[in-house]
Structure 1
């Protein structure tokens, strides 16, 4: 028991505990060095517009035909929502040693300075799959890197660190393809701006 007039404060202990928890949850690197997908908001607006346009079109066609019912309207709203979920872009950000992709199903983070493999998956939409030595895996659209030079620069620098460490055993070809595409699109932009195209 403490003598009268002496109080024990747990505020400092609780603040330190919360700071430690925030440090574990936060990505590595300082916020000033973080590169973000600067076209994410534009892509999000495009996905909303596409889903809304489909929904409005389906409702108008059904209403004009005189077949619009509550059940059919619910079906069209569900279809519009499904299209939005499919088109919803992930928000990609990167800092020194890490890359995070945040989507509707949560965030995935990979240590880019400890990459094991980088693979390009072809299919309906091309995806770049990054894996690190800790077993983390992130899929991103290569167009995000092409349209955001700061993100590409961060990933490229950290991939070089991984290659120097010897952990990057597979993926230099995929990274070279992305680099060539970025160089090609940069050259096209320079030609357009200078009027040489």
Structure 2
């Protein structure tokens, strides 16, 4: 859904820019290419990162690059920010990624895979820092999920 909005914004930006350029009388093929390139940059900036996971790993693919961590070998978990929060995960192999915690709240399966991997990390002794962050995040996600269920069922 958000990717579709990024496409709409990029196409809209390029279209309006080309239309205004045409109205001003300065529209040429090289300028059309420039507006298309700027539209592509708008798309790249607005495209939300794609978060994927499976047993033992979590990956975030952004503009041109994928970052991956082993959730069963996490070493540090930190939460930064008050308004725009970022969850930062490091694994024992040097992998690092950051993501918005709302992504985990919106997809309970992602949260379950991360939580299961973090439990394995604690059992193996690789998780040195961040157990409190994960516990608080779990409580927050459980509360968000409960509010969503109550709101959907009309019991709110």
Q: Does the TM-score normalized on the shorter chain lie above 0.5?
A: yes
Q: Distance in 1 between matches of 2:54 and 2:148?
A: 26
1:63 aligns with 2:63: no
Q: Distance in 2 between matches of 1:161 and 1:144?
A: 22
1:64-83 to 2 correspondences below 5 Å: 64-83=23-42
Distance 1:177 1:90, change over 3 A: same
1:90-101 to 2 correspondences below 5 Å: 90-101=49-60
Higher mean Cα deviation, 61-70 or 178-187?
Answer: 61-70
1:194 aligns with 2:135: no
Pick the aligned partner of 2:98 from 122, 139, 143: 139
Q: Shift of the alpha carbon at 1:134?
A: 1.2
Distance 1:43 1:178, change over 3 A: farther
SS at match of 2:94: coil
Pick the aligned partner of 1:88 from 47, 50, 69: 47
Post-superposition CA distance 1:29-68 (Å, at most 9, x none): xxxxxxxxxxxxx332222122112222222333344443
* Larger Rg belongs to: 1
- Structure 1: runs of 5 or more not aligned: 1-41
RMSD: 2.5
Distance 1:124 1:52, change over 3 A: farther
Q: Distance in 2 between matches of 1:62 and 1:177?
A: 52
Normalising by structure 2, what TM-score? 0.81
- Structure 2: runs of 5 or more not aligned: none
Q: Distance in 2 between matches of 1:76 and 1:165?
A: 53
Pick the aligned partner of 1:149 from 108, 114, 124: 108
Distance 1:84 1:190, change over 3 A: same
